[in-house]
Amino acid sequence: MGSLPTLKYIQEALYRGTLTSTELLQSSIHRIEDPAGEGSNTFIKVNTAHALDKASSADTLFGSGLPPLPLQGIPISVKDLFDVKGERTRAGSVVLNDTEPAEKNAVIVQRLLQAGAILTGRTTMTEFAYSGVGLNPHYGTPASPFEREKRRIPGGSSSGSGVSVADQMACASIGTDTGGSVRIPAALCGITGFKPTASRVPTEGVFPLSSTFDSVGPLAPSVECCVILDQIMRGVPVNPLPPFPLKNLRVAIPKGLPLDHLDSHVTASFGRALKIMENAGVLLSEIKVHAIEDVNRPGSGARLLAAEAYSVHRSLLKQRSHVYDPRVSTRILPAAETSAADYIDLANWRKDFISTIEAELYSFDAILMPTTPIIAPLITELEESDSVYFESNTLMLRNTCIVNQMDGCALSIPCHMQGEPPVGLMLAGLRLQDEKILQIGLSIEKLLNQQ
């Protein structure tokens, strides 16, 4: 925990002149191009020449004495869902190989560039963002950092984003989260990820999976980094948030489903983190949240998501279904049977779910769960067996999707000890409680890093 350089640390080094943007970018490119590394599986496209030109320009600006921009000269990667002017948005698929390059940047890409960021390239992902494990048969699957020789899954769907940060191929990355796709790779790669309330960050210029659930969030070395990137993507001034006092903080730990079938390492890491927080004065309450127990029942949000995915892919599936990853297309196609009346029922179910869970949790400052119930399984185990693949996918998404269903916000913060398999602590809040959750996250991260 806490071993990667933060955006603030890098900003200060660039401003003082102890580091140049060119040096920083060359280091990132070296890691991407290292034949012994994961760069070829992590990036679908790398912008080497253009990025080096931007780094040189950033170094000139640093020498001019002008106040630096918030991300001036800092390499950032973006998931292959985001439109970048002049580039083809493939969404981790070969289905869109013949589409025209984007005519303009996605809103959040434009805001990153205006803040001085240098885009290192487009990171690989699960095809069309429809899986929580991160496998991609078209472009390769990068292995998560822990026990790399064994090649464990990176988590998805923002798989390349997670590995690009963990391996310092980029200082931070931007992904999307429809059911956990920022938080899962953050957890399995040992970094921090933030899923905002969906309406908080614009999705214009982002290839959709679900108009209801899609949200855009950062994967980065720390909570403070996520604060900076979140503010930039929202288009608001970059200002530090004060940490939230932990003494007498009221935190709910949902019993039942979110704590079922945890592996022994996740159980130990989560329990240790809870003990540390309890010793700091956090008021932990293990409670039954009845709405959560219904989150995976028939007629729930998963079918709503699938129906919206089918509306996006209906014509593409008719023309090119044979080109899709079959583990993606087989999850989308059954939604063809969802009627308009069914869709309305599903949307109403979600409204009721949000109302119920808000009523059950309104008296708490935050909710705590393990981000994923298990550590990262081996890539080969999932590649060789459909049943293992889908079982692992369900487990990976189980806890994180609760937050998307309730239209909430959540951080995944590393809570494992150095040298252990990465485990994420998910700190969640109700909709539009984003700043409060980030503030609490700052305090919890500091507390865990002191141990």
Give domain status of residue 410, yes or no: no
264 a catalytic residue: no
Give domain status of residue 194, yes or no: yes
157 a catalytic residue: yes
54 a catalytic residue: no
Q: Sorting pLDDT into bands at 50, 70 and 90, what band is 3?
A: confident
Please state, as a whole number, how many other Cβ atoms lie within 10 Å of the Cβ of residue 435: 16
pLDDT in tens, 232-289: 999 999 999 999 999 999 999 999 999 999 999 999 999 999 999 999 999 999 999 9
Q: What amino acid occupies position 130?
A: Y
pLDDT in tens, 124-144: 999 999 999 999 999 999 999
List the one residue out of 237, 233, 19 whose CA is nearest residue 117.
233
Flag whether pLDDT at 1 surpasses 70: no
Region 201-209 average pLDDT: 98
21, 77, 79, 392: which one is catalytic?
79
pLDDT in tens, 159-171: 999 999 999 999 9
State residue 65's pLDDT score. Answer: 84
State residue 298's pLDDT score. Answer: 62
Q: Quick check: helix, strand or coil at residue 427?
A: strand
DSSP 364: -
Q: For all residues of the chain together, what is the average pLDDT?
A: 96
Strands 192-195 and 118-123: unpaired
How far apart, in whole angstroms, are the C-alpha atoms of residue 336 and residue 342?
11
Flag whether pLDDT at 146 surpasses 90: yes
User: CB within 8 A of 385, min separation 6: which ones?
Assistant: none
Give domain status of residue 350, yes or no: no
State residue 296's pLDDT score. Answer: 72
Give domain status of residue 195, yes or no: yes
Q: Sorting pLDDT into bands at 50, 70 and 90, what band is 300?
A: confident
28, 157, 412, 443: which one is catalytic?
157
The answer to whether 107 and 204 are in contact (CB under 8 A) is yes
The answer to whether 416 and 422 are in contact (CB under 8 A) is yes
Left if phi > 0, otherwise alpha if psi is -120 to 50, otherwise beta: which for 136?
A: beta
How far apart, in whole angstroms, are the C-alpha atoms of residue 272 and residue 84?
43
Q: Sorting pLDDT into bands at 50, 70 and 90, what band is 293?
A: confident
Give domain status of residue 173, yes or no: yes
Q: For the full predicted model, state whether its pTM sits above 0.95.
A: yes
Flag whether pLDDT at 324 surpasses 60: yes
Q: Sorting pLDDT into bands at 50, 70 and 90, what band is 299?
A: low
Q: Name the residue range of residue 207's domain.
A: 7-234
Q: Which CATH number do you get for residue 101? A: 3.90.1300.10
77, 131, 161, 181: which one is catalytic?
181
Give domain status of residue 401, yes or no: no
How far apart, in whole angstroms, are the C-alpha atoms of residue 169 and residue 187?
18
Q: Sorting pLDDT into bands at 50, 70 and 90, what band is 294?
A: confident
Give domain status of residue 118, yes or no: yes
What's the domain count of the chain? Answer: 1
Give domain status of residue 135, yes or no: yes
